[in-house]
Amino acid sequence: MHELMRIIKDYKAGKNSGIFSVCTSNKYVIEAAMDRLRDGDKYLLVEATANQVDQFGGYTGMTPKDYKDFIYELCDKNNFPKERIILGGDHLGPLTWTNLQPEKAMENSMELIRQYVLAGFTKIHIDTSMQLLGDKESGDFGDNVIADRAARLCKVAEEAYAELLKENPLAIHPVYVVGSEVPIPGGAQEEENHIQVTSVSNFENTVRSFKEIFMSYNLSEALEYVIAVVVQPGVEFGSDSVWSYDRESAKELSAAIKNHDNLVFEAHSTDYQTKESLRKMVEDGYIILKVGPALTFGFREAAFALNSIEEELVQYHPEFETSRFREILDFVMMKNPNQWKKHYIGSLEKIKFERKYSLSDRCRYYMPDEDVEFALQKLLDNLSNVEIPLPLLSQYMHSQYVKVRENKLKLDPYELLKDKIGEYIDDYIYAIS
């Protein structure tokens, strides 16, 4: 049985059972999650998003197989058991091809799904909720069109799994997550006054449409592996705002999942929710909690704090060149604005602030850049070759200072960086424990 199916079975039996999904390609975030989960028995669900990793390399330059190899290399490096890794694909569908004719977009999406399954990804979020070229003009885009496209992709996934079984008879059957009210990756692009909770009627219609259309594609067996539906429980975040989970507003939707023995909810954009809100969400059936930008936000916080420590220690030291990490990161973001210009709007002053500090963290898209990566490594190398005074550590990373004093954390820049990220991961561990 797939581990996610076991978690769902436990939840349906009345246990507080859930899992969080780390949606990122940032190696420090993934290592931080491994550090937090290594000594227990919980699985680490790591997901690559369609714009990060695809058959053409995505913005990370990685194909699905490359990403799997990357994660397994981190397992070896960090002494984390590969058998406790679940690889997932997030928003797999025509997310990055909405400007193409539907058939071409779907052709690309089919190859995308195929490569993910063949690479050994076993949690597949099929997302066809976005309009393609001509959909708006046709006027008939809705659950049936979304479900029909999803069924076509699921059929390819099933065929790819059958192909995989020939190579590996022990390969685990992938599980599927579907939905038609799917929040866009990375947080809200415009400020909103209210986030509308998915209505029970819309949820039930989505389930009904997907079942009917999957059956018409002879996918009755695949339906047994559809484990979750993406809905909007009323949580979201923008550049400087967080819409917190309101149990009362979501109570009717939360009750509706109890009528489906083998289904749960998957919640996207749970970033920055409090640990108590996250726990309530798990209790209410949103037992797959997706998180991404909050973790790279934590990474950025840690890297900026270390940069401040570095500047205090080595800017006048004759044997060191400062990394200028913050400066180089911002320069690269200004030079190549495509990854943030739709998210950060307003005055120049506001945009300059958001490039560095926005909750809708877009810095993560620039970490693979050669100059940014070099600057970060220079920062870590510099701090590895000096002694960080405790007062300076307390000034910029006080909680890490406390752990160092208590001999719970090594005074090492890599460990400090990962532990800061881990503070965000701790909220999710609390929610599913």
Chain segment 165-186, per-residue pLDDT in tens = 999 999 999 999 999 887 766 5
Going along the chain from its start, the domains and CATH numbers come out as 3-292 (3.20.20.70), 297-423 (1.10.400.20)
Whole-angstrom distance, CA of residue 432 vs CA of residue 18: 5
Query: What average pLDDT score do residues 253-272 get?
Result: 97
Per residue in 40-86, pLDDT (tens digit) is 999 999 999 999 999 999 999 999 999 999 999 999 999 999 999 99
Has residue 284 got a pLDDT over 90?
Answer: yes
Q: For the whole model, what pTM was predicted?
A: 0.95
Please answer whether residues 173 and 155 qualify as being in contact, where contact means their C-beta atoms are separated by less than 8 angstroms.
Answer: no
Confidence tier at 188 by pLDDT (50, 70, 90): low
Tell me, what's the pLDDT at 140?
83
Rg (CA), the chain: 22
Confidence of residue 220 (pLDDT cuts 50, 70, 90): very high
The predicted pLDDT at position 97 comes to 97
Question: How far from 204 is each of 143, 207, 231, 263, CA to CA, in Å?
Answer: 11, 5, 11, 12
- Specify the pLDDT at position 138: 81
**pLDDT (0 to 100) of residue 332:** 98
Neighbours of 248 (CB within 10 A): 7
Q: What is the pLDDT of residue 295?
A: 98
Distances in Å between the Cα of 431 and the Cα atoms of 91, 214, 280, 411 are 24, 33, 8, 29
pLDDT grade, residue 194 (50/70/90)? confident
What tokens appear for 39 in the block? 């000594």
Please check the confidence at residue 191 and state whether its pLDDT lies above 70: no
Q: How wide is the angle at C-alpha 37 spanned by C-alphas 380 and 271, nearest 5°?
A: 75
95 — pLDDT class (breaks 50, 70, 90): very high
As a whole number of Å, the end-to-end CA separation of the chain is: 21
For range 157-168, the mean pLDDT:
97
Quick one: pLDDT at residue 192?
54
Lowest pLDDT segment from 3-7, 201-205, 316-320, 388-392: 316-320
| Res 190 pLDDT > 80 | no
Q: What percentage of the chain has pLDDT greater than the value 70?
A: 97
State how far the Cα of 303 lies from the Cα of 325, in Å rounded to an integer: 8
Mean pLDDT, the chain, integer: 95
Q: 339 vs 191, which has greater pLDDT? A: 339
pLDDT recorded at residue 317: 81
Task: Give me the pLDDT at residue 136, please.
Answer: 84
In the chain, the percentage of residues whose pLDDT exceeds 90 is: 93
Assess contact for 395 and 221: CB atoms under 8 A: no
